[in-house]
Structure 1
Amino acid sequence: MSLLEIRNLSVDFATASGKFRAVDGVDVTVDQGELLAIVGESGSGKSVSMLALMGLLPWTATVTADKLEFDGHDLRKISGRQRRRIIGKDISMIFQEPMSSLNPAFTIGWQIKESLRKHTNMSRSQRQDRAVELMQQVGIPAPEKRLQAYPHQLSGGMSQRAMIAMALANKPKLLIADEPTTALDVTIQAQILELLTGLQQETGMALVLITHDMGVVAETVQRVQVQYAGQRVELQEVDGLFENPHHPYTAALLAALPERAIEKRLPTIPGVVPGQFDRPQGCLFSPRCKFADARCIAERPTPAGRDLGYALCHYPLIDGQPTGKETAA
């Protein structure tokens, strides 16, 4: 049985001019101990999908799903009290911006120990010992001193490590890392990623990594889910995805990597992710796709089979070329 199983997840936000669909029928499956990456450019619904799982979206959001199960619990049907026993304990999240996610009014130690107080029966001294242990685990020197520091007294890298310590406090079964290396320099990025993957192997927890960085994906995870405009457009094992992407969007993302550039100028994907008022009738990627035809513009595609990476495309690519165009003409 999968640790996390999400089917047909949709998230709509109420706005002054109507509803905006940020997540459109997304499926996510994570097995115990697995490393899954969710990739895509800004506006693809990566973070919103996971925030919907955590129950952390604002009141303007409407979340629907055919299935939303974690470790045997149906998150659609359990009470708020039952959900709070799971979120922050069995499911934890490292947020994108540590400087804005940490509470500036409380010390790092208070924030870590508050999570322990909410989810365990530890005494005050046990919570202190566990906080020190966590700070050591994430590589923060002089942990007793750092526990007394406020967020503004820590560097970006130290703040991110403190966020990781807080997320690991209750030994979660699933850790969601939302762009954990944003705004960090390259050296610190490598250290944070090495820390996360090392802790994942040590504890056996599942890890969902939300990122833009395909280089990080290639070195870190087992499976890759590609999202575009709120939809899942491809899902493959990491090696297969890099060797033979089946969705034109995935292929375009990989072609833009500097190490794959054949010409001096990096190829780009023209246009932008569709917003509330310019969503195409057919395939959402069709205005930016070089393979798009009249069918792509008029008809919504359905996912291909597993052998084609569940590509959400009328003409999934094989070795860079669209399939089925001749018969569809």
Structure 2
Amino acid sequence: MSLLTIRNLSVEFTTGSGRFRAVDSVDVDVRAGEILAIVGESGSGKSVSMLATMGLLPWTATVTADEMSFDGRDLRAMSGPERRRLIGADLSMIFQEPMSSLNPCFTVGFQIKEALRKHTDLDRKQRHARCIELFEMVGIPSPEKRLSAFPHQLSGGMNQRVMIAMAISCRPRLLIADEPTTALDVTIQAQILDLLTGLQRDTGMGLILITHDMGVVAETAERVAVQYAGQKVEEQPVADLFRAPHHPYTAALLAALPERATEKRLPTIPGVVPGQHDRPEGCLFSPRCKFADETCRIVPPPVQPRPLGLARCHYPLEVPGGVVPAKVEGASA
């Protein structure tokens, strides 16, 4: 049974110039003890889809889904108090921007202890000891001293580690890590990833890792979902995805990895992710895709069967023998 199940999630924002769909019909499944990586360029809806799951989007966002459940409980039907008991305890998130997520008016120690006070039965002395333990786990030196520091007194990397400590403080069953190592140097990145994967192994915690780093994906994830312009365009086990990507966007991302480069210049993907006013009528990737034809430009593509990685594409790549690609009725062969 999936720990988190999301079906047909869409998120639209109301702006001064109309409505913009940031997430478009996305499905997510995460089992207990599984590591799912979500990858894609900035603007692909990775963070927004997870913030919608957490119930942390502003009032300008309209969230719709056929199903959004955590451990069999309907997140859409939860009352405010029920959601507050869940978020931060069983379901937690490491945010991408620590300086905008931590409260500048309180010490970092107070903020972690507040989470422990709300979600655990620890007394004051035990909460203090747990904070020190967490700071040591994430590699913060002089933890006793750092507990009394305000966010502005710490570096960006140090604040990122504080956010990680806060997210894992209550031993969540599912942790969403949104670019958890962005502000950290390479040595600390490896340490934090080892910490997160170790917790996942030891506790059976589910882990959703949002990242741009395909090297991190290759080393840590079991399954990869690729998003583009708000849509999930492919999903495969990590080894299968690196060996045989089925969507041209996934193939282009992998081709841009330095270790895969065969020319002196790294391959790039021309153009940019479409925004509110330049979304194509057909396949959203068609303006940047070297394989696109007129069908791609005017007809929304089908979702291919699982042997083709659920690729959202008219002409999937690397089609195994005996697998027949799905076609949209009326589209060219």
TM-score, normalised by the number of residues in structure 2:
0.94
AA of the residue aligned to 1:149? A
| Alpha-carbon offset, residue 164 of structure 1 | 1.1
Percent of aligned pairs with the same amino acid: 74
| Alpha-carbon offset, residue 141 of structure 1 | 3.0
| Alpha-carbon offset, residue 195 of structure 1 | 2.1
RMSD between superposed Cα atoms in Å: 1.8
Per mean C-alpha deviation after superposition, the further-off stretch among 170-179 and 146-155 is 146-155
SS at the partner of 2:77? coil
Does the CA contact (< 8 Å) of 2:157 and 2:183 recur in 1? Answer: no
1:24 aligns with 2:28: no
Does the CA contact (< 8 Å) of 1:97 and 1:182 recur in 2? Answer: no
Does the CA contact (< 8 Å) of 1:157 and 1:188 recur in 2? Answer: no
SS at the partner of 2:188? helix
AA of the residue aligned to 1:328? S
AA of the residue aligned to 2:231? Q
Mapped partners of 1:185, 1:138: distance in 2 = 13
Per mean C-alpha deviation after superposition, the further-off stretch among 282-291 and 155-164 is 155-164
SS at the partner of 2:292? coil
AA of the residue aligned to 2:173? K
Mapped partners of 1:133, 1:324: distance in 2 = 52
Mapped partners of 2:187, 2:127: distance in 1 = 32
Per-residue deviation, residues 304-328 of structure 1 (Å, max 9, x unmatched): 11110000001110079xx869x93
Mapped partners of 1:324, 1:93: distance in 2 = 37
Residue 210 of structure 1: aligned partner: 210
Per-residue deviation, residues 192-226 of structure 1 (Å, max 9, x unmatched): 22222222222221110001111111111100000
AA of the residue aligned to 2:96? Q
SS at the partner of 1:175? strand
Mapped partners of 1:266, 1:324: distance in 2 = 31
Mapped partners of 2:325, 2:83: distance in 1 = 46
Does the CA contact (< 8 Å) of 2:177 and 2:207 recur in 1? Answer: yes
Residue 49 of structure 2: aligned partner: 49
TM-score, normalised by the number of residues in structure 1:
0.95
Residues 317-328 of structure 1 aligned to structure 2 (within 5 Å): 317-318=317-318, 328=332
Gaps of 5+ in 2: none
1:14 aligns with 2:14: yes
| Alpha-carbon offset, residue 119 of structure 1 | 1.5
Mapped partners of 2:133, 2:193: distance in 1 = 20
1:221 aligns with 2:225: no
SS at the partner of 2:165? helix
AA of the residue aligned to 1:282? G
1:312 aligns with 2:316: no
Aligned length: 327
Mapped partners of 1:58, 1:99: distance in 2 = 18
SS at the partner of 1:76? helix
Per-residue deviation, residues 51-104 of structure 1 (Å, max 9, x unmatched): 000011010000000000001110011111111111111111101122332222
AA of the residue aligned to 1:27? D
Residues 158-307 of structure 1 aligned to structure 2 (within 5 Å): 158-307=158-307
Runs in 1 of length 4+ with deviation above 3 angstroms?
none
Mapped partners of 2:319, 2:259: distance in 1 = 19
Residue 127 of structure 1: aligned partner: 127
Residue 85 of structure 1: aligned partner: 85
